[in-house]
A and B are shown apart, each in its own frame.
Chain A
Amino acid sequence: MKYLGIEPARPKVAVFDFTGCEGCELQLANKEESLAAFLGSIEIVNFREVTSTRRDDYDVAIIDGCISRDDEVERIKEIRSRAKILVAMGSCASFGGVNRMKNAYNLDDANREVYGDKPQATGLTRSIKEVVDVDLEIPGCPVSKEEVERIVQHLVLGVAFTFPVSPVCFDCKHRFITCLFEHGKLCLGSIARSGCNAPCPAGGLGCWGCRGPAEDCNLEQFIAIARERGFSQKEIDERLGFFGGFEGLR
């Protein structure tokens, strides 16, 4: 239906999985109360978890997962050449995600640790933008379906979308959560991008920064505060490196 006189477009969308757990794809198929409207607002032409249709005439390609094998490089390049818009969905596609942790180790050792005496052809973990041009990154582990819905609404109405820029602390305060950092837990809430509604601090876990850094985040001061409160540099580095979003800032 028309919204404020605008007839929404109905773009052809394909979803492809690379190295990752496919949890973000599952998110696209979640939130049942608006699932029919969501799937109805776009035309899905290729999405293994949702349809048996396999077509290549997509406008928008949504990529779940990161690049960790040579055959994936060829595949992502082909998808890029067909898609008008290429979207990296989730922390793996945006930053490399938890998979990126292996880059800190000797690759042969990592291979042996996981595959034993049946080594597989895996290389360094790369985010999608390290291999092909990306038009939009949707961070999060997993992505928030509500945010994906808003992005799709903006897309079909042709309106620019902007992500929240503030740190998770602000979302956390709006939920009346008692500060975990003040209670001795390491938490990236004061430097990580919000928009998630702080589910991890609400669950008592502290923030792990799955959405990457907030705009203009004060990493230097954060590290100084965390060190002052007794967290080791190793603990802090491990937390910052967990999803790969702070790569390049450190």
Chain B
Amino acid sequence: MLFKVMAKSSFEELVGLLLESNEVIGPRMKTRHPDGKGVHQFLPITAFADMDLDYEKSEYSPKTYFLPFKENLSTYRFQGGDWEQEIKYRIQPRAIVGMRACDINALVKLDKVLLKGDFPSPYYLARRKNTFIIGLDHDPCENGFCASVGSDIVSHGFDLFLTDLGDRYFVAIDSDRGYRVAANVEIRDPTEADNEAYVQTRNRIAKGFKVEVSIRNLPQILDLEFQSPVWKKWGDKCLSCGSCSAVCPTCYCYGVEEKVAMDFSESAKVKRLYSCNLYDFAMVAGGHNFRPSRESRLKYRYYHQHRGFVETYDEPKCVGCNRCGDVCLAGINPPEVITDLEKEAAR
């Protein structure tokens, strides 16, 4: 990793340069919550001032710029008994500015599933490679527990990652193109004082977490508590609406639908992200549903996050953003569910 220091005015200049030839996405305030707090989403910007870089947490995860909710995988045209296939996965270069460490770590997890497995996804790859990522450190968000799952610090998966040192940014550079882009504005090597300020800032951030979740023994506890009444308690609350998966920065499950033109001259395979909390997620041909109850579906989601994923990738799928807890009308949230399970296991 290469470290540089950049004046805040130079960062503004750099975003301006990106805007000249790229679509640039940044955190924008969309509306205000009744309690006065801003509601932010990652949306296209046309000027630096469009962004509110001090946002706490975006309502939706920026995942959807890499893994859209809906995506056309392939189009078919039929003519005289024959057919032609068209696949479009190339996208125009794009930059995302202001992503938090948790959301970049989420992409690193998705990379493991979608790029490093036996069947890499060309659709995801095209979006990932064509997206320039500038991350930005921030004090812990309300309800977030990223530090508990090791996602508060990001070591790769971005091009530039900035830490605010007051009048300047401490810049971590993780790619050649990151260096080339940064070199267009004034950057300098960090002095010892810069390094010290960076470490102090990191320490301040690390001390700011109010929510802590113990996941040390969680995969084992989940195995022990498979029949726990905890699942019924939270399952009875679940509305099975799938909102948790929709806002989750790492949920990637999907279904594919065939969309046929009314005159039957063409069709398309359309991929749509789905949720394991929806009633028919585990419905199979013939009509059998492997997880017909709310509690079994909710349990399955937690098992994938904190057990199944750990077995395959040695880390939880969850990055601790708590967006699932924030969005849940029924108030189901990982810190409380996990604490309940631990209490149950300790009884």
Interface positions of A (Cβ within 8 A of B): 1-3, 8, 34, 37-38, 40-41, 149, 153, 165-167, 169-170, 173-174, 176, 178-179, 181-184, 189-191, 214-218, 221-222, 225
Collect the chain B residues with CB atoms within 8 Å of residue A41's CB.
262-263
Collect the chain B residues with CB atoms within 8 Å of residue A173's CB.
60, 69, 242-243, 246-247, 327
Instruction: Give A54 to B69 CA distance when docked, in angstroms.
Output: 45
- With contacts A1-B78, A178-B39, A225-B330 taken as known, whether A149 is within 8 angstroms of B262 at the C-beta atoms is yes
* CB <8 Å contact, A3 and B78: yes
Collect the chain B residues with CB atoms within 8 Å of residue A165's CB.
278-280
Interface of B is mostly: loop
* CB <8 Å contact, A3 and B242: no
* CB <8 Å contact, B240 and A167: yes
**Which residues of B in the span 232-270 have a Cβ within 8 Å of any Cβ on A?**
236-243, 246-247, 260-265, 267
Complex partner residue of A190 from B60, B69, B241, CB under 8 angstroms: B241
Collect the chain B residues with CB atoms within 8 Å of residue A178's CB.
30-31, 39, 59
- With contacts A183-B34, A225-B329 taken as known, whether A176 is within 8 angstroms of B60 at the C-beta atoms is yes
Q: Is residue B33 contacting chain A, with contact meaning CB distance below 8 A? A: yes
Complex partner residue of A170 from B30, B31, B237, B241, CB under 8 angstroms: B241
* CB <8 Å contact, B240 and A216: yes
Instruction: Give A166 to B283 CA distance when docked, in angstroms.
Output: 13
* CB <8 Å contact, B279 and A214: yes
Complex partner residue of A221 from B31, B78, B260, B330, CB under 8 angstroms: B330
Complex partner residue of B263 from A37, A221, A225, CB under 8 angstroms: A37
Shortest Cβ-Cβ A-B pairs, 6 listed: A173-B246, A169-B241, A37-B263, A37-B262, A34-B262, A174-B69
- With contacts A178-B31, A225-B329 taken as known, whether A166 is within 8 angstroms of B59 at the C-beta atoms is no
Collect the chain A residues with CB atoms within 8 Å of residue B327's CB.
173, 179
Collect the chain B residues with CB atoms within 8 Å of residue A222's CB.
239
* CB <8 Å contact, B264 and A1: yes
CB distance from B85 to the nearest CB of A (A): 14
- With contacts A38-B262, A174-B70, A218-B294 taken as known, whether A166 is within 8 angstroms of B278 at the C-beta atoms is yes
**Which residues of B in the span 263-299 have a Cβ within 8 Å of any Cβ on A?**
263-265, 267, 272-273, 275, 278-280, 292, 294
Q: Closest B residue to A220 by CB, please name it.
A: B236
CB distance from A134 to the nearest CB of B (A): 20
Collect the chain A residues with CB atoms within 8 Å of residue B238's CB.
218, 221
Collect the chain A residues with CB atoms within 8 Å of residue B263's CB.
1, 34, 37, 40-41
- With contacts A1-B263, A170-B278, A178-B59 taken as known, whether A221 is within 8 angstroms of B39 at the C-beta atoms is no
Q: Is residue B41 contacting chain A, with contact meaning CB distance below 8 A? A: yes
Complex partner residue of B329 from A3, A8, A184, A190, CB under 8 angstroms: A190
CB distance from A200 to the nearest CB of B (A): 16
Instruction: Give A166 to B281 CA distance when docked, in angstroms.
Output: 10
CB distance from B240 to the nearest CB of A (A): 7
Q: Closest B residue to A229 by CB, please name it.
A: B329
CB distance from A149 to the nearest CB of B (A): 5
Can you spell out 11 A-B residue pairs with CB atoms less than 8 angstroms apart? A3-B78, A40-B263, A173-B60, A178-B30, A178-B59, A183-B34, A184-B34, A190-B241, A191-B239, A215-B279, A217-B240
Collect the chain B residues with CB atoms within 8 Å of residue A2's CB.
81, 264
Instruction: Give A224 to B298 CA distance when docked, in angstroms.
Output: 19
CB distance from B292 to the nearest CB of A (A): 8
* CB <8 Å contact, A218 and B262: no
Instruction: Give A62 to B318 CA distance when docked, in angstroms.
Output: 48
Q: Closest A residue to B327 by CB, please name it.
A: A179
- Contacts A1-B264, A3-B260, A217-B240 aside, 15 further interface pairs with beta carbons under 8 A come to A3-B264, A149-B262, A166-B242, A167-B240, A167-B242, A169-B239, A169-B241, A170-B275, A173-B243, A174-B70, A174-B246, A179-B243, A181-B329, A221-B238, A225-B330
